[in-house]
C-alpha cells in the first residue's frame, strides 16, 4: 500500500469513527460556506510525495467535506479548485488537477442524483477540454432536476475576471435595451454566481491570510476564517471549529448592534 492509499484508509476510518460516536453537528450552520483549497503542495512535500499526490488527497478531502456540509444543513459549498492564475503552474501539475476534476465530475454524473448533491461549475469553461466541458453541461442538466444541497466548484475562476465579464455582458444588454439602470442586485445577476446567495463564511486553510482573487464581489460581507491546517488534513472537526467561530461573530453589515 503506498503512502497516499494508507492515508486515504486512515482518513475514511476516522470519519466512520466520528459518525459512529454520533457527535452532535454544529448548531446553526451558515447557509453558504466557501473554501480556498490551499496547502496541497506542502502536504505532499512534507511526506516526500509529488505535489500531484497532494491534489489527489485534496480531492478526497473535498468529497468528505462536501458530504459533511450537506449533512449538517449547509445549503451551498463553494470551493476554489483552479484559478485563472493557476495555468502558470508546470504543465504536468495542471494536467493532474484537470484529470482529478474530470474524475470527480465523471463520478458525480453517476452519484449526484442518488446523493442529492447539485453541482455547478463557476468560471470560464472556454479553456477547458471538450470532455470537461461536456461533463460540466451534463452535471448542470442533472442538477436542474431536483432541489437540495449545492456544491459550486470554481474552475478557471478569477474574481476580477468574473467582474469584468459581468460588466461587459451588462454593457451589451444596456446597449441593446435589454437591461435598465445598473443596481447591485442587477449586476449580481451577471456573475457566474447568479442566483446563489453570497457566502456567509469564507475559510482559508493552509496558513495564508488573503483571498487570492476568490469571490471578490460576493464576499463583501463574508466572515473570514483562516487556519494553518493544510487542506488535505482538513476534517469535519475543522468545519465544526469554523462554524463555532462564525456563530460567535457579530455580523452587522455596516449597521449597529441592536
Ligand atoms: C492549492 O494548493 C490547490 C490547488 C491549486 C488545486 C486544488 C485542486 C484539487 C484539490 C483537485 C480537485 C478538486 C476537486 C474539487 C475535485 P497548492 O498547490 O497551492 O498548495 P501549496 O500552497 O502547499 O503549494
Instruction: Assess whether pLDDT exceeds 80 at residue 40.
Output: yes
Which atom of ligand 1 is the closest one to the Cα of 153? 15
Q: Quote the ligand 1 centre to 59 CA distance (angstroms).
A: 8
Q: Are 190 and 174 in contact (CB under 8 A)?
A: no
Give nearest CA residue, ligand 1 atom 14.
59
Cα 178 to ligand 1 centroid, rounded to whole Å = 39
Q: What is the DSSP letter of 226?
A: E
Q: Which of 97, 87, 89, 77 is nearest to 36 (CA)?
A: 77
What are the b/e assignments for 120-150, b being 16+ CB within 10 Å? bbbbbeeebeeebeebbeebeebbeeeeebb
pLDDT at 115: 87
Closest CA to 81 of 130, 132, 45, 115: 132
Question: Could you list the active site residues?
Answer: 38, 86
Q: Can you tell me which atom of ligand 1 is nearest the CA of 231?
A: 2
* Cell numbers at 98, concatenated: 484537470
- Mean pLDDT, rounded, for 23-49: 92
Q: Closest by alpha carbon to 207, among 223, 222, 226, 235?
A: 226
pLDDT of residue 250: 85
Read off the pTM: 0.93
The answer to whether 131 and 109 are in contact (CB under 8 A) is: no
Question: Is 204 annotated in some ligand binding site?
Answer: yes
Exposed / middle / buried, residue 178 (Cβ in 10 Å: 0-12, 13-18, 19+): exposed
Q: Which helix (H) or strand (E) holds 33?
A: strand 32-36
Instruction: Give which of 20, 131, 112 is closest to 70, Cα–Cα.
Output: 112
Residue closest by Cα to atom 6 of ligand 1: 81
212 labeled part of a ligand binding site? yes
Per-residue pLDDT of 103-118, as tens digits, reads 999 999 999 988 889 9
Cell of 161: 475576471
Question: Residue 254's pLDDT band (boundaries 50, 70, 90)?
Answer: confident
Least confident of 4-18, 73-87, 158-172, 210-224: 4-18
| 215 annotated ligand-binding residue | no
Asked whether residue 114 is marked as a ligand-binding residue, the answer is no
Report the separation in Å between the CA atom of 186 and the middle of ligand 1, taken as the mean of its atom positions: 32
Distance CA(113)–CA(13), nearest Å, equals: 25
The predicted-structure confidence for 174-193, as pLDDT tens digits, reads as follows: 999 999 999 999 999 999 99
Distance 180 CA to ligand 1 centre (A): 40
**Does 188 belong to an annotated binding site?**
no
In the numeric block, which cell numbers belong to residue 207? 496558513
Closest atom of ligand 1 to 42 CA is: 23
The whole-number average pLDDT for the span 8-31 is: 73
If you take atom 12 of ligand 1, which residue's CA is the nearest one?
A: 59
List the grid coordinates of 73: 444543513
Q: Residue 25 gets which letter from DSSP?
A: P
Cα radius of gyration rounded to whole Å, the chain: 19
How many other C-beta atoms can be found within 10 angstroms of the C-beta atom of residue 192? Answer: 21
The CA 22 to ligand 1 mean position distance, Å, reads: 31
- DSSP state string for 35-53: EE---HHHHHHHTT--HHH
**Which ligand 1 atom sits nearest the alpha carbon of residue 57?**
10
What pLDDT score does 120 carry?
97
Mean pLDDT of 228-236: 98
Residues lining ligand 1, CB < 6 A? 37-42, 55, 58-59, 62, 79, 81-82, 86, 97, 100-101, 104, 153, 206
User: CA-CA distance, 193 to 188, in Å (whole number)?
Assistant: 8
Task: Output helix, strand, coil percentages for the chain, rounded to the nearest 5.
Answer: 50, 15, 35
Amino acid at each position: 500500500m503506498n503512502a497516499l492509499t494508507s492515508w486515504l484508509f486512515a482518513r475514511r476510518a476516522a470519519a466512520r469513527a466520528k459518525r459512529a460516536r454520533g457527535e452532535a453537528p454544529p448548531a446553526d450552520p451558515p447557509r453558504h460556506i466557501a473554501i480556498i483549497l490551499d496547502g496541497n503542495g506542502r502536504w505532499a512535500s512534507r511526506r516526500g510525495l509529488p505535489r500531484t499526490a497532494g491534489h489527489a488527497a485534496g480531492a478526497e478531502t473535498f468529497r468528505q467535506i462536501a458530504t459533511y456540509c450537506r449533512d449538517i444543513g449547509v445549503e451551498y459549498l463553494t470551493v476554489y479548485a483552479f484559478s485563472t492564475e493557476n495555468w502558470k503552474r508546470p504543465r504536468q501539475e495542471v494536467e493532474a488537477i484537470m484529470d482529478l476534476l474530470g474524475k470527480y465530475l465523471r463520478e458525480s454524473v453517476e452519484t449526484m442524483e442518488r446523493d442529492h448533491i447539485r453541482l455547478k461549475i463557476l468560471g470560464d469553461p472556454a479553456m477547458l477540454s471538450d470532455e470537461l466541458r461536456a461533463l460540466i453541461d451534463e452535471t448542470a442538466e442533472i442538477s436542474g432536476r431536483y432541489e437540495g444541497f449545492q456544491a459550486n466548484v470554481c474552475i478557471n475562476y478569477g474574481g476580477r475576471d468574473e467582474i469584468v465579464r459581468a460588466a461587459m455582458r451588462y454593457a451589451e444588454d444596456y446597449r441593446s435595451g435589454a437591461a435598465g439602470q445598473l443596481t447591485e442586485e442587477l449586476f449580481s445577476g451577471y456573475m457566474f454566481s447568479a442566483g446563489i446567495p453570497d457566502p456567509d463564511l469564507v475559510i482559508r486553510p493552509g496558513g495564508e491570510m488573503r483571498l487570492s482573487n476568490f469571490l471578490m464581489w460576493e464576499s463583501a460581507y463574508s466572515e473570514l476564517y483562516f487556519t494553518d491546517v493544510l487542506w488535505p488534513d482538513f476534517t469535519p472537526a475543522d468545519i465544526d471549529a469554523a462554524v463555532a467561530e462564525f456563530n460567535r461573530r457579530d455580523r452587522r453589515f455596516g449597521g449597529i448592534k441592536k
